[in-house]
Structure 1
Amino acid sequence: MKKNKFLMYLFFMLVGILTLGFASTNEAAEKTYKIGTDLTFAPFEFQDSSGEYVGVDVDLINEIAKEEGFKIDLRPLGFDSSIQGVQSNQLDGMIAGMSVTKEREKTFDFSDSYFDGGIQMAIQASDNEISSYDDLSGKTVAAKVGTQSASFLEENQDKYGYSIKNYDAADAMYNALNNNNVQAIFDDYPVLGYAITSGQDFKLVGDQQESNPYAFAVKKGENSELLKKFNAGLKKLKASGKYDEILNEYISTGSDNATTTSSSVSEMKKITPLKDSYTVVSDSAFAPFEYEDADGVYKGIDVDLLTRIAELQGFTLDMKYIGFSAALQSLDSGQGDGMIAGMTMTDERKANYDFSDSYFDSGIQLAVAEDNDDIKSYDDLAGKTVGAKVGTESSDWLQSHAKEYDFDVKNFDTADQLYDAVKVGSIDAMMDDYPVIGYAINQGQALKTPIERESGGQYGFAVKKGSNPELIEMFNEGLKELKQTGEYDEIVNTYIGNESSSENSNADSVDESTIWGLIKNNYPALLEGLWNTIVLALVSFALALILGVIFGLFRVSPIGWLRTIAGIYIDIIRGIPMMVLAFFIFFGLPGMTGITIPDFAAGIITLTLNASAYIAEIVRGGINAVPVGQMEASRSLGLGYNKTMQKIVLPQAVKIMIPSFINQFVISLKDTTIISAIGVVELLQTGKIIVARTTQSSYVYLIIAIMYLVLITILTKLANRLDKKVK
């Protein structure tokens, strides 16, 4: 019996070893290598119009895998991410136009060179002045940051006497050359050759400078068999001529750029979204770029452009209109994937955000009251006051020219304050972005623009630096397509063109220049805002009552550590301004914890915490107002502390507290207006949105003031009746 068991055990063990060996052999034969590559480095790796990754690197590695009989899992992660992936063993190798340097050879093992790179100069095709480096004296030359081209320019600047300008991305550098902001650019010659083949109106001049060769890389001391397979496959491709076919497909010398077909220039590249849905944050009231119409639907240049780009590129868009400042903070905290809000691209912002190509060239312009004939030039501003919005290009321009033209500058937080100041005569003139002024005039503002506009900055779509690069690519490709088809001009002219005024007026069935017209056309939005205000106040106050009573009882507890906890809580909450608390909860906590808190929930939490601290003090004061002798008498009769509080002290204290509770509720109701700072569309925020569309700030805020007055009066009366019943 024991012998049979032993033979059976030996049999199963042999079967297991054979199965394992077979599986291992099969696994080795079927091994798939994870290969990292760049996201966009044409012509070495990029997406074609169908969303497939192609290019010299992609085609080479695929052909080598076929030749050598292994499989690859190509992962376009970006250059830096691919390097980190190899170093952390998440990738087996990488191919991304990677130059072999002494520094990199310390951490990577490289294959044989598959491409001997070189850097070269390109100029506009129509430029006949520059034919060699000697012609660059006094000119501006550009390169991409951190490249061999940038190093070459630095080393030879004194020799040839040019100025250097560095760019983060190739498209920005190409635009600079097209716009003549720079007179020449330097880049890897195959990259420039591909750009010319793809329709850039450049030509290559000067001698090609040698640079480090490109090679396939693995982590030092690992995946040596993969390196051997790559080298063997590369030799076979070169011998068969396949290698040359791949290079010739993507790299042009620049001599045949005249034969480029128009279809290759106009074809939009389709970028693959990396998320199911992208959350894009925006301003809530910046007409004509984003604003809410009379039906409660957001529209404007930014809205229409991004909506069409999402349709063209095939990604899902989730728009959040929360105000400019709130949108910036939402982008910083990771709650928003991107931002579009008439955002001017400045050097300071570029330090924190990655921008798209410019989608609108702005400008600033001076405006005065329609009946003002005294101001016809900047010289007429002497001794007068000119207004602008805080932190805008207009404000900066006015500050820098105030002494030159002898005027005073007054800054305002919002557009409606600025326009009202002109209307009532508290300032003599104002300056703002020209499309915003144009929209205001079309909407009935009694303004005129006596002076030609000043050139301004460029608006761009933004993402947090280093995040969502594919979103920027999708925006740029979609924008190019809209401009080529003419749809871009149609969208812009809808809101800034001469017919925009009549179109907008026809869209609204009621004249909104009167208080009754405003009410009739906007009462659904106003009622919704009122409802949100009531919900915010009631829910937060109910929660604050529970929390406040608990901490109030802690405050008068005979247990010392409970009193200490309550004291610290009350001091912290009362010591933080409520707007700061709201910002911390909505923007700060998600950045620290990674948990996104909806704006409405953040508003309720803020109001609850703020009111609970004051309610706790009301409870403490009410309990302390009950004569201390009653507690002593009760304890002397043998009742415990909890029974005494429950049966004797609290019933009397509640009657004392009720008037203060009513007062605190009214304060909480008013405090809901502060929550609009994080984008919650309560009654005040609803008013701001209506003002942005209609520019009728006086009437709108009068309506809102009356609504608050009626609401608070009704709730106060109800609370007073409740107080009487309780007493």
Structure 2
Amino acid sequence: MKRNSWVFTVLLAITMASSTIVISYLPSSAQSLVGKEELTMLTSPDYPPYEFYETKDGNRQIVGFDVDIANYIAKELRFKLKVTESDFNGLIPALQANRVDFVMAGMTPTPERQKNVDFSIIYYQAQDTIVAPKGSNIKKATDLSGKRVGVQLGTIQETNAKKIAEKVSGIQLKQLNRVPELIQELKAKRIDAAIIEDTIAKGFISANPELQFTPIPPEGPSGSAIAFPKGSPMVEPFSRVLQQMKDKGEIERLASKWFSASTSAAAAGAQAPAAPKGGLNLDFGRILPDLPFVLQGIPLTLLFTISSVFFGLIWGTILSLLKISGVKPLAAVADAYTSIFRGTPLLLQLSLVYFATPQLIGYNIPALLAGILTFTLNSGAYMSETIRGGILAVDKGQREAAMSLGVPYWTMLIDVIFPQALRNILPALVNETISLLKDSSLVSTIGVVELLRSAQIVGANKYIYFEPLLFAGLIYYVLVMALTVAASNLERRLRKSD
């Protein structure tokens, strides 16, 4: 009996080992076919129906035509898909910095772009259109002579508009970051026409019946493709799946799903009651279902502001101590640092930190961390001068009295000098905090969906502009007033403690 048990155990072990070897060579549903288990897709989700945020009931998921295609490819190539966002003009720099694996944003493979990134095959062909007010008689490229024409920065429409301008004299181009901004400029009569892709233009025309659009022949490359970093091995498998989707009619099915749905939604939104003549043409009822989405941007804005102020105050204090240390090399370094960060634009500093960090040190810094770091470095430069002035404003007798009593230098600074300096500089620190709160909207350029970005996303989805921005402005005002009241109470308590 024991002998049989021993034989059975050996046979079982051999069977299990053989099964393990066989299974290891079989294709696994969980095993990626592109060498990575998770791929990051970057997009610009203010371009419905290609990509946009589903904002109803506070949902913060990016959806759309491109996202559905990416999900299909992820299923076929067995990888997990992660979708992140950025402004359109930040997509190529992110690829060049290897921050993401690929970009889908209705992007056309122009010769200029192909010098910097690789592209898949074209998966969808669209056409440019001229959007203009009804009755303007702007229906073809030659009609743009002497007109102000709006285009989205960094898009194929901008490139094509420049080519039209070379042939048609007198065209004044105006580049803006987002398509909704073009529509608003058009309605405000600050531009005469805009060049927009037809699938996007249909939604905006449905929501703005006072506008019309006319297709124009392409002036250069057209069609949408997936962009990859130079030399990426993923171009071939992605292109293969895209070709399969085109052959099976899957691309056409998704196009019908998203483009017809987008036009219908925009048309439904355009049926909202108009404001009385002579009044403001505003309808906040259209954004009511999306208010939870906007409100979810408040915690991120506050987290960003509080973190930047806290670390900026610490860094500013260190810089101020270096400036008053009496050690000339340290003071010179602190002064040079302050000069650089006060003398260059904050947006430039943010872009350098976010895009250059992976290339310089190999660390793929998250967008929020890049924002906090940049604002800390920038606000520290400003706060250092404020803190230095506050310290020097303390009566010298306080310092001399502490030294005569044998109080150590650092103890004197912490217990005697800093509390008095804080009272002097508190208003300036509050102003810096308010500035950081309002400037926090800049982090939206690197993909952080804070308060203002949330409002802009709702506006893009609803094909409107003012209502979500006015609501965001109201929230900013409430936050600033709350901060001002809190600072006033703190200042009053500090004075009573004297």
Taking structure 2 as the reference length, what is the TM-score of the superposition?
0.84
- For 2:340 and 2:148, how far apart are their aligned partners in 1? 43
One-letter amino acid matched to 2:362: G
- Larger helix fraction of residues: 2
Partner residue, 2:284: 516
* 1:352 Cα offset (Å): 1.8
**Correspondence for 1:610:** 378
- Of 139, 146, 149, the residue aligned with 1:386 is 149
Tell whether the 8 Å contact from 1:511 to 1:517 is kept in structure 2 after alignment.
no
Q: Distance in 2 between matches of 1:521 and 1:614?
A: 41
Partner residue in 2 for 1:288: 49
Of 427, 430, 438, 1:662 maps to 430
The alpha carbon displacement at 1:640 in A equals 4.7
Q: CA deviation at 1:633?
A: 4.8
Deviation at 1:458, TM superposition (A): 2.5
Change (3 A) 1:580 1:653: same
- Residue 110 (structure 2) pairs with residue 346 (structure 1): yes
- Indicate the residue corresponding to 1:462 in structure 2: 227
C-alpha distance in 2, partners of 1:622/1:518?
50
* Pair 1:508–1:592, CA change in 2 (3 A): farther
In structure 2, the residue matched to 1:626 is: 394
Cα separation, partners in 2 of 1:485 and 1:346, compared to 1, 3 Å: same
Of 202, 223, 228, the match for 1:438 = 202
Q: 497, 501, 525: which one pairs with 2:263?
A: 501
**CA deviations over 1:541-597 (Å, ceiling 9, x no partner):** 112122222222232224444434433433343334222222222211111221111
Matched, 1:488 2:256: no
Residue correspondences, number: 457
1:650 matched to 2:414? The reply is no
Contact 1:384–1:408 under 8 Å retained in 2: yes
2:463 maps to 1:695: yes
Alignment correspondent of 1:372: 135
Q: 1:330 Cα shift?
A: 1.9
1:550 is matched by which residue type in structure 2?
A: I
User: 2 CA distance for matches of 1:697 and 1:647?
Assistant: 52
Contact 1:395/1:411 (8 A) holds in 2? no
> CA, structure 1 residues 521+458, in 2 after alignment: closer, same or farther (shift >3 Å)?
same
Letter of the aligned partner of 1:602 in structure 2?
Answer: A
Query: In structure 1, what residue type is equivalent to 2:100?
Result: G
1:601 corresponds in structure 2 to 369
Q: Give the 5 Å matches for 1:401-416.
A: 401-402=164-165, 404-413=167-176, 414-416=178-180
Q: Does 1:528 align with 2:332?
A: no
Question: Structure 1 counterpart of 2:228, which letter?
Answer: V
User: 2-side partners of 1:404 and 1:575: how far apart?
Assistant: 40
CA distance in 2, matches of 1:601, 1:383: 46
- Counterpart of 1:94 in structure 2 is none
| Structure 1 match to 2:4 | none
Counterpart for residue 89 of structure 1: none
Which residue pairs with 2:20 in the alignment? none
Specify the alignment match of 1:677 in structure 2.
445
Q: Which consecutive residues of structure 2, in runs of 5 or more, have no partner in the other structure?
A: 1-25, 275-280
2-side partners of 1:714 and 1:515: how far apart? 28
**What does 1:389-400 align with in structure 2 at a 5 Å threshold?**
389-400=152-163
In the alignment, is the contact (CA less than 8 A) between 1:579 and 1:674 conserved in 2? yes
Checking the alignment, whether the CA contact within 8 Å between 2:203 and 2:267 is kept in structure 1 is no
2:120, 2:239 within 8 Å by CA — same for their partners in 1? yes
The 3-state SS of whatever aligns with 2:454 is helix
Contact 2:140 2:216 in 1 (8 A): no
Shift of residue 619, structure 1, vs aligned partner: 1.0
Instruction: Give the Å deviation of 1:660.
Output: 0.9
Superposed counterparts of 1:121-140, under 5 Å: none
The one-letter code matched in structure 1 to 2:127 is: G
Q: 1:424 aligns with which of 185, 188, 198?
A: 188
SS at 2:118's partner residue?
strand
Equivalent of 1:358, from 122, 133, 152? Answer: 122
TM-score (structure 1 length as normaliser): 0.59
Helix, strand or coil: the match of 2:456?
helix
Q: Check conservation: 1:445, 1:695, Cα contact below 8 A.
A: no
1:224 corresponds to? none
> Who is 1:478 aligned against?
241
What secondary structure sits across from 2:138 in the alignment?
coil
Measured in 2, the distance between the counterparts of 1:504 and 1:378 equals 27
Contact 2:107 2:155 survives alignment (8 Å)? no
Cα distance in 2 for partners of 1:511, 1:486 equals 39
* Residue identity in the other structure for 1:557: S
**What is the distance in 1 between the residues matched to 2:341 and 2:291?**
36
Secondary structure of the structure 1 residue equivalent to 2:223:
strand
Instruction: Give the 3-state SS of the residue equivalent to 2:127 in structure 1.
Output: strand
2: CA distance, partners of 1:560 / 1:321: 45
Aligned ranges 1:561-576 → 2 under 5 Å: 561-576=329-344
CA distance 1:509–1:600, shift in 2 (3 Å): farther
Q: Using a 3 Å threshold, how does the CA distance of structure 1 residues 663 and 516 change in structure 2: closer, same or farther?
A: same
Q: Distance in 2 between matches of 1:644 and 1:271?
A: 62
Structure 1: segments with no counterpart, 5+ residues: 1-49, 53-269
Matched residue SS, 2:55: coil
Larger radius of gyration: 1
Give the whole-Å Cα distance in 2 for the aligned partners of 1:347 and 1:592: 28
C-alpha distance in 2, partners of 1:669/1:514?
A: 27
**Are positions 1:314 and 2:78 aligned together?**
yes
